[in-house]
Structure 1
Amino acid sequence: MSSAEPSAASAGEDPSVSSEAIRNYVIAVDDLLLDVPWRRRRELIADLQEHLREHPDQITVEQPQDYAAELRAAAGAVPGGFLSGFRSASWPTPLEWWESVLRGAALILLALLGYKILDYLSYFVVGDASSQGPWPGAIDSALQTLYPVPAFRGSTGTGLLIYAPLAVLVGQLTTAAVLLRAPQRRPMLRILSYISLGVVLVLLGYGAIRSIG
């Protein structure tokens, strides 16, 4: 029994610190390092995990924000601020960058859908008889205008040149707004990405079905 105790101590095991607590500590530090380029941040977090395996009591000694500040200083990272999402090396990973673009595209499509619906129903506001129509017809017409690419000034080619960069801009700015205020909401953004994918597929899929029919 006595020989087992030094072995456990040498492995850095601390029964008072749970694996869940260590995992939460690592996640908290990672969320506080979003201004560090993602490859460098991945290396820092891997080193942190190795360090905590050997010294799990570290999480009771130093708060995540203090440890993250030390790692950021060691990495020489400068906070990127509101527009840091446009740095290709970060924010927060390449996959999450594309997810932000997907969320931006969904927001733009929903905004255009709302605008088109109001446009078709604008007779009640401006008296334009050519745009008068019932709700079902207005929604149907509005959905069809979104496929395959929303037009800009009557051109889908111009629409692609306008709305694709705009999706990046909207996605990055909304992501920055969330993560600068509450970086721990990254899981929520992942859920919103799935919802956004559903929105894009439904809106464009409806237009595709109507174009075939």
Structure 2
Amino acid sequence: MITIVVYLLAVSIFKRFAYNILFHPILVGAILIGGISVVSQTSVLDYQLYVTPISWMLGPVTVALAIPLYKQIRLIFAAGLKGMMVIVIGGCVAPLIAVGWLSLFDFSEPVRLSVLTKSITTPLAMDTTNMIGGLPELAAAVVVITGILGVMFSQFIFKLTLCHDPRAQGLALGTVSHAIGTARAHQIDAKAGAFSTMALCVNGILTAIILPFVFMIFG
């Protein structure tokens, strides 16, 4: 109940500040819950146990994104191979750049592996990271940070590149910033939201299938 109340409060704060990404409900909610946990001396493990029903809902909520996807199905089919190529290329380039940066510093192998799933939704990221030898908890944190930063910089990048096509905006947000980016895409336009949902689903499924398969073959 505390988590739900904190979330509703975080959403109201987000609206109060005109949907400024710095006050995103996930970020504000995490800070508030962290503060409450410290004051009440509740450990992270205990908190995870208490919010198990909410965590379980991540799966059905992700599946529910199929509704706006279905409503824009004709436009999505029209994008065809070009749309798929954008998702595949973006899904490969984003994590490789992150790993490349980490390779310049003295990070352990599990830490580097944990950023490979940074652009897919949390449930898939945690399971996939665990399969390839990374740290699921770190992967979850990286996913949230990636989503917030992706949405934050997307506004600047769209202006810089003169990208006004809601389809392209949706594909970019869904591929790189997963569910957080998709939520932002739905605020922009229904069409952007549908394409972002497609990118979120396709990138998540392909990463969850291909990444463990690659590690199984090449070790």
Of Structure 1 and Structure 2, the greater helix share is in 2
- In the superposition, the TM-score normalised over structure 2's length comes to 0.25
Higher relative contact order (CA 8 A, sep 6+): 1
- In the superposition, the TM-score normalised over structure 1's length comes to 0.25
